[in-house]
Amino acid sequence: MTAPLKLVILGLSLSSSWGNGHATTFRGLIQALARRGHDVLFLEASAPWYAANRDLADPDFCRLAFYDGLEDLGRWAAEVAAADAVIVGSYVANGVDVGDWALHTASGPVAFYDIDTPVTLAKLGRGEEPYLAARQIAAYDVYFSFTGGPTLDRIERSFGSPAARALYCSADPQIYRPTAAPRRWDLSYLGTFSEDRQPTLERLLLEAARRAPALRCVVAGPQYPAGIAWPPNVERVEHVAPADHAAFYASSRFTLNVTRADMVAAGHSPSVRLFEAAACGTPIISDLWEGLDALFSPGSEILLAETAADVLAALSMDETRRRAIGAAGRARVLKNHTAEHRAETVERELHQASLRRGRTRAIASHAAAKESNMAPKTTKRVLVAGGAGFLGSHLCDRLLGEGASVVCVDNLRTGSMANLESALRHPSFTYVDADIVDSLDGVLDGRPFDRIYNLACAASPPLYQADPEHTLLTSVLGTRHLLALAERTGARFLLSSTSEIYGDPHVHPQPETYWGHVNSIGPRACYDEGKRCAETLTYDFARAGRGEVRVARIFNTYGPRLSAADGRVVSNLISQALAGDDITVFGDGAQTRSFCYVDDLIDGLIALMEHDGPEPGPINLGNPTELTINQLAALVLRLTGSNSRLKVKPLPVDDPKRRRPDIAKAASVLGWRPTTSLEDGLRATIAWFEQTGAIRADVRRAEAAVA
């Protein structure tokens, strides 16, 4: 999580959900942002239609203000100028002028949030610019898109966007959840009338209702024309308020998802109703489009239908399987598609946009932005060794999100394919099962690379001490093999070294100029000395003029995807606290550490790799906030609400007494500092441990029900 931000959003509507999906999308996102400590001002144009149908005129999670036309926006110029970031939404009235005003007035990044991307691009293709001009896409620092997949590449390649990122709709599981509402319908559909959606609704719901008169069906939503011939067993409901959505879905055995034609053509365009219905545990029958299987697993989490016969077959399934599909769909939303997930994306991408501004100062005006970004972009080809590990998988996801083509090499000794769940669905990602200790000749099929990150090596004492010879060879032979690959392909090479090279330090905090205090024959030496030797190899390679290198000395890092079994202090404390087990503290607990949240660390790695100045030498990456292990344990107990007791064990051999990075060099050379507080980072990590445990339980229950 980033530091609290002041955000201004100019959107179609927050106050009225009548006849649009924008309001519910914004409500979920803004509530998640508010829960994460951010201050949001939402500016909504006064419109008679929405003014007459407001169902949230005074939200308690943000400030909502209305304006009358472009001139009236000037009342909020000071707030826009002072905001950390501004977001302009699609379908805003006079959106081109509003966007120009925001771009001119704001001092921080300005993003465009397109909840209708395929429709927008179709309009631009016809020369229509009702709320976004083609020239503006390059000027917006981020293009948040309702649609993912190849469309993002098109927005960057054809329109010059500096960063097109998927920001799908979502569901708030506190609002959209299973309820005990009485069952009223066999099949429901909730959605505003759309001419291009109606043929699919006719085929999948109305025709199914005609073929099976005993079915009880409902279509809810406004603006349906009077001429539609509704079958007698199809009930019409003009409007369902968001507060009643969960009960509406719970009243249905199944619900239907129908996608607009432009969005079907583009693919990767889920509607908000898809996530909301799934979060309510109601099984979904959906039309087919590319990318749906990257969001839900067909057959187990969602059902697909092309014809009325497909719908009727789904409706005939037994209750056990129906419940299992509903539970699995809800588990998927909890894991990947909550408003919290989307808020994390917004935080991350706005932070990256701020870093880009700070590094380049390239966006001084609309014309300058267009000129600098309209040139075709070259996709970076990146190899991440150890990409299935904790840090490596986060790096893969970030690089893919930034438009890179990523190859992950991992032997899965300590990594996990579960960490790559998101990456494996990305068309620009390739996984290669290989060990860098072995020769890489032939393994990568002669692929060229622009960047090579070496994150391959067990990083926790229990794991790297389990096979010390392999640990040492990974650092030495593995680094040599990757350096040779970098030389052959002309790639820039980054070595992930470690604070362990400082050993049990006599200098505190540790600057990069400190040579360390390491026991070369102790039980930790396989890792400590391996990394020290890897640094030697890397700089010998550079001194010989064989390529560009970067070295990051990484201090303790934590966050989602930490394995509960890898022996690191944060994962140990959290997993023990959540299980109610005794919390293990080694020694007297007075030894200190500094903990950096994973998102901040990934920012630092990428900033170091992309540093284009003279080779800076090793750079410490870590959080300089120091605390004792006892203090960390107390904080974990408080945040988890656990009643676990402390259990003291002897301090391991050569365990450092103090550890804290001096990051002055990272700040001056890279402009990098961590921004996530320990409490915020621990909350996110604890939530991930809780959520993954809950999801596993949901899936087990679903599988047991099917069996």
Give per-residue pLDDT as tens, 336-346. 999 999 999 99
Closest CA relative to residue 590, chosen from 651, 501, 521:
651
pLDDT at residue 665 is higher than 70: yes
Q: Examine the pLDDT at 705 and tell me if it is beyond 70.
A: no
Alpha carbon 117 to chain centroid, angstroms: 19
pLDDT: is 332 or 524 the higher one?
Answer: 332
Mean pLDDT on 537-557 = 93
The whole-angstrom separation of Cα 140 and Cα 350 is 11
Residue 359 has pLDDT above 50, yes or no: no
pLDDT of residue 694: 38
Q: Which residue has the higher pLDDT, 240 or 373?
A: 240
What CA–CA distances, in Å, run from 124 to 48, 96, 113, 119, 194?
A: 27, 12, 16, 9, 20
Q: Where are the domains of the chain?
A: 6-166, 185-337, 441-694
Domain 185-337 belongs to what topology? Rossmann fold (3.40.50)
Residues assigned a catalytic role: 527
pLDDT tier, 58 (very low <50, low <70, confident <90, very high otherwise): very high
- Residues 111-134: tens digit of each pLDDT: 999 998 988 998 999 999 999 999
Query: Which of the residue ranges 4-18, 43-57, 557-571 has the most confident prediction, judged by mean pLDDT?
Result: 4-18
The owner of tokens 């199914």 is 208
Which residues does 554 contact at the CB level (< 8 Å), separation at least 6? 391, 496, 497, 498, 499, 601, 621, 622
In contact, 131 and 95? CB cutoff 8 Å? yes
Q: Is the pTM of this model over 0.85?
A: no
Highest mean pLDDT among 472-486, 575-589, 641-655: 472-486
Nearest 10 degrees: Cα torsion 625, 629, 630, 636: 80
185-337 and 441-694 in the same fold = yes
Q: In this predicted structure, what is the pLDDT of residue 366?
A: 31
Q: Return the structure tokens found at 366.
A: 């609309």
CATH 3.40.50.720 assigned to 6-166? no
Is pLDDT at 701 greater than 70 in this prediction?
A: no
Of residues 119, 137, 484, the one with CA closest to residue 269: 119
Render pLDDT for 155-195 as a digit per residue (tens, 0 to 9).
998 999 999 999 998 988 888 999 999 999 999 999 999 99
Is the confidence at residue 50, as pLDDT, over 90?
no
Angle of helix 569-579 relative to helix 678-706, nearest 10 degrees, comes to 50
- 223, two tokens: 């603006």
Q: Give the pLDDT score at 360.
A: 42
Structure tokens belonging to residue 295: 């969001």
Residue 695 has pLDDT above 80, yes or no: no
What is the percent of the chain with per-residue pLDDT over 70, rounded to a whole number? 93
| pLDDT number for residue 361 | 36
Q: Model confidence at 368, in pLDDT bands (50, 70, 90)?
A: very low
User: At residue 370, does pLDDT exceed 50?
Assistant: no
CA atoms within 13 A on the CB side of 111: 30
The pLDDT confidence band at residue 696, using thresholds 50, 70 and 90, is very low
- 206-263 per-position pLDDT tens digit: 999 999 999 999 999 999 999 999 999 999 999 998 889 999 999 999 999 999 888 8
Picking from 200-204, 415-419, 547-551, which range would have the lowest pLDDT averaged per residue? 415-419
Instruction: Please determine, for residue 371, whether its predicted confidence score (pLDDT) is greater than 80.
Output: no
Q: How many of the other CB atoms lie within 10 Å of CB of 318?
A: 9
Which CATH superfamily is 441-694 part of? NAD(P)-binding Rossmann-like Domain (3.40.50.720)
- The pLDDT tens digits for 287-299 are 999 999 989 999 9
Q: pLDDT averaged over the chain?
A: 88
